[in-house]
Structure 1
Amino acid sequence: MFETLLAAIALVFIIEGLLPFVFPEVWKKMMAEASALPEGSLRTMGLVSITIGLLLLLIFS
């Protein structure tokens, strides 16, 4: 169980690092636009992301 959790965290780091590595200008623009969003919108996007992740886990595990 612990090894699976570490593998999942490692994959998150890999996926999160791909965009700034491959497209740094696009990543900087996205971060600038994201910082201008209201907190409510950011929280909604976070909740949607969590929900999609949980649904994928339920479907594929």
Structure 2
Amino acid sequence: MWSDLAAALALLLVLEGLLPFLVPRRYREYLLEIARLPEGTLRLFGLISMLLGLALLAWVRG
């Protein structure tokens, strides 16, 4: 189980690093745009992201 968690974390880091590596200027602009969003919108995006991730995980592990 711990090896699965470590693999998932490693994949997360790889995916998170793609945009800053490939298009750093656009990534910076994107982060500034996100910083201007209201808290409620950020929370909604976070909730949707978590639910989609859980659904994908359940489907893959199912």
Measured against the shorter chain, the TM-score band is over 0.9
Q: Provide the residue aligned with 2:10 in structure 1.
A: 10
Q: Residue type matched to 2:13 in 1?
A: F
Moved over 3 A (4+): none
**Alignment partners' CA distance in 2, 1:57 and 1:3:** 16
Q: Percent identity?
A: 44
- Map 1:1-61 onto structure 2 (within 5 A): 1-61=1-61
Q: Whole-Å Cα distance in 2 between the matches of residues 57 and 7 of structure 1?
A: 14
Cα offset for 1:54?
0.2
TM-score (norm 2): 0.96
Per-residue deviation at 1:4?
Answer: 0.5
Amino acid corresponding to residue 16 of structure 1 in structure 2: E
Q: Secondary structure at the match of 1:28?
A: helix
Root mean square deviation, CA, Å: 0.4
The secondary structure found in structure 2 opposite 1:37 is coil
